[in-house]
Structure 1
Amino acid sequence: MRETGKIKLGISIGDLNGIGCEVILKTFEDSRMLDFCTPVIFASNKTISFQKNELKIGVNYNGIHKVEQALDGKVNVFNVWRESPIVKFGEATPEAGKYALLSLRAAVAALKKGEIDVLVTAPINKNNIQAKDFNFPGHTDFLAQELGGESLMFMVTDELKVGLITDHVAIKDVATTIDAKLIKSKALAIENSLKVDFGIRKPKIALLGINPHSGDNGVIGKEDEEVMKPAIEELIKEGHLVFGPYSADSFFGSDNYTKFDAILAAYHDQGLIPFKTLSFGKGVNYTAGLDKVRTSPDHGTAYEIAGKGVADHSSFKEAVFTALKIFKNREEYQELTANPLKKQRLKR
């Protein structure tokens, strides 16, 4: 149990040449944020000092060498390294990838040990972060290996939630990757997350078809008829409120999405293009299905504006609030589960 009641929020720094440090520092430049959590940035005093001076962001911080030294009411910087990395704003350099990985590994280690309660990750460059011990297409796959549970990329706002059956999979491999087992697994992961993480008692989930027009009864591919529909029918028989498959091209434009608590898309762009179009700057990338809470903003390194001081920190701030909200929802759910009388009152 947390002694102070404040959630200890870990932050991995992301690519030093991108806008990660900027959106982090801008978020906590507002001292009111410290009323909600105790932030711990995994980087170094020298790195944060350089970034805040270059970007002219007025943030005071407390340097620490152990997570337990973090002080409430302060922005804490856990010193992962002592040297001063060379920062080249807007460039994808091996050095930036090296320090992004050092920060991420240190933050995840602290999360696994319970030294921090939740993790918010600043954007990485998926190419320069690659290493012998990091051969993943992104945060989600790495976290799936490091943390318990089955990961699901879940893009969320208060009004719109979109999960993916396949995330970082090439288009040519999508149809062969999706089978009934995977569909059911992801649908159940979304349902559980909606209940536990977002407090929705009886979630309704829409599934989007794999092919254009959901295959048009087999005219445009047979995957929807032979794989998607039988999986949905099984889920319905088991008592789950899942519907579809819906034709993806008209689903969002017709506002059909507003009738559901979440949408499960077949592949990355099918889900993320409409999500980011409808909510860019407000959306959060949440890795659902894990034993620990991790969120991130819905944008990348944004090299084109890095170092200019013009980055919008709205999505990072939303990622912080979402992580805190999910953590509290999980605590409440566990309490209700452990106390049958409270759970009974909730059902009424």
Structure 2
Amino acid sequence: MSAKQHKIKVGISVGDFNGIGPEIIMKTLKEKSITDFFTPVIFGSGKLFTYQKNIFKFQQTFNYITEPSLAQADKINMVNLWKENVNVDLGKPTEESTKMAIDSLEAATDALMKGEVDVLVTAPINKEEMMKQGFKHAGHTGFLEEKFGKKGLMFLVTDDLKVAVSTHHIPVSQIADAISKEKIKKQIKLLNQTLIEDFCIQRPKIAVLGLNPHAGDGGAIGKEEIEIIEPAIRELFENGILAFGPFPADSFFQPEKYRKYDAVLAMYHDQGLAPFKTLAYEEGVNYTAGLPFIRTSPDHGVAYDIAGQGIADEHSFSEAIFAAIKIYKNRSEYRDLMENRMKPRKSVAGNGVDEDLPEEENS
């Protein structure tokens, strides 16, 4: 079965259930026809979702299963990780909601690695509370990097704006020390390959932002651009990667500027995410690029302030699901294409005729 024909299994981790995670999941899956497009596999609690379903007056029914391999293609499947009662305290994190967020993420990731689901979509978590419970990472990216044994890249995407960040969740005081020429080169190469394989862009153009105000102003406001960023860009450009910059971040995110490029590499978290979320908040998707498996999430947090009110917007979560599906198909088709390209062509021994060529080209 080809990637286009394959009905993709989407693994879903529930995040902190005292936030808006269950609400946006159920809103995304509310239409009966949704299972025509993919097979949802939620890693959570039947009792929790039944309780929250009643709060929001949703009508879904769940297919409760003990393991993801039992998921049915035409149903909303729920891997019932917690069978006991769950205490819901909407609007604030609790030890119970934090532990379920960790359990759900770990179970969904294990299923992804075993091939029991095809892609992973993660609902929002509370990073601080999870670290209090022994979770070792300040976010999903570090956890997935450790699990998969490969460095990833935080990549925020919509159809016309794609922003990656060189440094993730670290203090601002550590940013300058955390960038280097070799690191930036690796990230631009990874971003270039991601755009080719996962987004079907044959010759990507990548804009790179400077670290300092006005991109250093020729060295007057910091020398990282001159000593680190610009040499990395120049070296890659000379080797065929269309990287440009460094650009001053304060004036870059004007539509007539950023739309000239297929993606942007920002130097730190807020430099890239603040303009991205301003321009593309409801439709933005957080994609962890460069990993052997596909994981996406909405580009917002747990939103405790509106939890339980029925007003959470599910569009970013829905976009995350369909982005994961599209990336999976793009990547599968790219790999099929490359495998076919690498296969030796058959020829008829002794007559010099290449069977793969049209007849007029063999004449």
1:148 to partner: Cα distance: 4.2
Pick which of 124-133 and 182-191 moved more.
Answer: 124-133
Moved over 2 A (4+): 1-5
1:5 to partner: Cα distance: 2.2
State the one-letter code of the partner of 2:273. Answer: L
Structure 1 residues 32-43: aligned runs within 5 Å? 32-43=33-44
State the one-letter code of the partner of 1:284. Answer: V
How many percent identity over aligned positions? 52
Distance 1:107 1:211, change over 3 A: same
1:89-122, CA deviations, whole angstroms, 9 ceiling, x for partnerless residues?
Answer: 1112222111100100100011111111000000
1:33-91, CA deviations, whole angstroms, 9 ceiling, x for partnerless residues?
Answer: 21111100001211111111122111111000021211111100001121122111111
2:285 is the counterpart of 1:275: no
Pick which of 277-286 and 53-62 moved more.
Answer: 53-62
Match of 1:346 in 2: none
State the one-letter code of the partner of 2:323. Answer: T
Q: Distance in 2 between matches of 1:110 and 1:237?
A: 42
Pick which of 239-248 and 28-37 moved more.
Answer: 28-37
Q: Structure 2 length as normaliser, TM-score?
A: 0.92
1:203-232, CA deviations, whole angstroms, 9 ceiling, x for partnerless residues?
Answer: 000000000001001100111111111111
Q: Is the 8 A contact 1:164 1:186 kept in 2?
A: no
Match of 2:360 in 1: none
State the one-letter code of the partner of 1:178. Answer: I
Q: Is the 8 A contact 2:99 2:133 kept in 1?
A: no
Match of 2:348 in 1: none
State the one-letter code of the partner of 1:327. Answer: Y
1:2 to partner: Cα distance: 8.6
The runs of 5 or more residues in structure 1 that have no matched partner are 343-348
- Indicate the structure (1 or 2) with the bigger Cα radius of gyration: 2
The runs of 5 or more residues in structure 2 that have no matched partner are 344-363
1:32 to partner: Cα distance: 2.2
State the one-letter code of the partner of 1:81. Answer: W
Structure 1 residues 1-348: aligned runs within 5 Å? 5-131=6-132, 133-253=134-254, 255-340=256-341
Q: Distance in 2 between matches of 1:174 and 1:115?
A: 38
Q: Is the 8 A contact 1:97 1:130 kept in 2?
A: no
State the one-letter code of the partner of 1:101. Answer: I
Q: CA RMSD in A?
A: 1.8
Q: Distance in 1 between matches of 2:170 and 2:150?
A: 20
State the one-letter code of the partner of 1:207. Answer: V
Q: Distance in 2 between matches of 1:28 and 1:2?
A: 25
SS at match of 1:84: coil
Q: Distance in 1 between matches of 2:235 and 2:102?
A: 41
SS at match of 1:272: helix
SS at match of 1:287: strand
Q: Distance in 2 between matches of 1:121 and 1:221?
A: 38
Q: Distance in 2 between matches of 1:2 and 1:98?
A: 38
